[in-house]
């Protein structure tokens, strides 16, 4: 990186590849080629990346132009179906006794501050639409630490799949593909 030299004209500096947008401001400049005037493949790739970068120097007016990459619109999820139930220590056992006797129940153990938990929330939301016969529930371990410790929840997010009041499988971590495979493996849609 070089700074605008006060003794040279802007046109001369642009020809030499040392001009900046304005005096005293820094702009990335191409370095001199390797010995013998030849450029290796790594150097050519670096120069190509500099040319394609969003920061450009307009040689006609020597002004710095920054182009922002286009941002994708935020994904808005449809409203969650009523099948995602927020559990508390008082409702946990009753829910499992009532719902797991005739269907699969997937319980998401999470906290509000956990980044991977937030990531998996969107995937859990999509699973509710894909598997209508599965009951989905969430349990906030941040609010009820003692109860979640009693359930031996040691890492977050943790997903437990129950059927007939028995835990069939447990999955920890943000693994959306494995979570879907787990539900697909145990899910048997009713033929009505």
- 130-161 pLDDT, tens digit each: 998 899 999 999 999 999 999 999 999 999 99
Q: Do 166 and 97 belong together in one domain?
A: yes
Question: What is the number of other CB atoms lying within 10 angstroms of the CB of residue 179?
Answer: 21
Least confident range from 53-62, 136-145, 159-168: namely 53-62
46 class by beta-carbon count within 10 Å (0-12 exposed, 13-18 middle, 19+ buried): middle
Going from the C-alpha of 42 to that of each of 17, 95, 121, the distances in angstroms are 20, 61, 42
Q: Is residue 143 part of a domain?
A: yes
Q: Is residue 179 part of a domain?
A: yes
**pLDDT at residue number 34:** 47
Q: Do 27 and 112 belong together in one domain?
A: no
Q: Is residue 73 part of a domain?
A: no
Q: Is residue 1 part of a domain?
A: no
Three-class DSSP category at 167: strand
How many Å apart are CA 38 and CA 44, to the nearest integer? 10
Our measurement of the distance from residue 192's CA atom to the centroid of its chain's CA atoms, rounded to an integer in Å, reads 39
**pLDDT at residue number 102:** 87
Q: Do 95 and 48 belong together in one domain?
A: no
Q: Is the pLDDT of residue 11 over 80?
A: no
Instruction: Report residue 158: phi and psi, to 5°.
Output: -125, 135
Q: Is residue 5 part of a domain?
A: no
Contact 157, 124 (CB under 8 A): no
Three-class DSSP category at 171: strand
Single out the residue of 137, 114, 112, 111 nearest to residue 124, CA to CA. 137
How many Å apart are CA 19 and CA 16, to the nearest integer? 8
Q: Is the pLDDT of residue 76 over 80?
A: no
Contacts of 170 (CB under 8 A, 6+ apart): 158, 159, 160, 161
Q: Which domain holds residue 92?
A: 84-186
Q: Is the pLDDT of residue 87 over 50?
A: yes
Our measurement of the distance from residue 180's CA atom to the centroid of its chain's CA atoms, rounded to an integer in Å, reads 18
Look at the pTM and tell me if it is higher than 0.75.
no
Q: Do 108 and 52 belong together in one domain?
A: no
Phi-psi region of 182 (alpha: psi -120 to 50; beta: other; left: phi over 0): alpha
Q: Is residue 30 part of a domain?
A: yes
Q: Is residue 124 part of a domain?
A: yes
Total domains in the chain come to 2
Q: Is residue 18 part of a domain?
A: yes
Q: Is the pLDDT of residue 1 over 50?
A: no
Q: Do 180 and 122 belong together in one domain?
A: yes
Q: Is the pLDDT of residue 86 over 90?
A: yes
Q: Do 96 and 181 belong together in one domain?
A: yes
Q: Do 41 and 110 belong together in one domain?
A: no
Q: Do 62 and 88 belong together in one domain?
A: no
């Amino acid at each position: 990186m070089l700074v605008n030299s006060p003794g040279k004209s802007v046109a001369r500096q642009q020809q030499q590849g040392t001009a900046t947008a304005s005096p005293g401001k820094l702009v990335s400049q191409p370095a001199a080629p390797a010995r013998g005037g030849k450029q290796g493949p790594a150097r050519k790739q670096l120069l190509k990346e500099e040319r394609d970068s969003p920061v450009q120097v307009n040689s006609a007016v020597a002004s710095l132009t920054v182009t922002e990459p286009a941002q994708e619109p935020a994904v808005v999820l449809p409203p969650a179906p009523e099948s995602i139930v927020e559990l508390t220590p008082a409702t946990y056992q009753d829910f499992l006794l009532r719902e797991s006797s005739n269907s699969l129940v997937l319980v998401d153990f999470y906290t509000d501050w956990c980044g991977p938990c937030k990531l998996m929330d969107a995937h859990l939301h999509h699973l509710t639409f894909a598997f209508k016969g599965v009951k989905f529930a969430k349990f906030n371990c941040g609010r009820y630490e003692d109860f979640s410790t009693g359930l031996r929840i040691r890492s977050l997010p943790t997903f437990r799949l129950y059927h007939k009041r028995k835990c069939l499988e447990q999955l920890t971590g943000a693994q959306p593909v494995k979570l879907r495979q787990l539900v697909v493996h145990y899910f048997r849609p009713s033929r009505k």
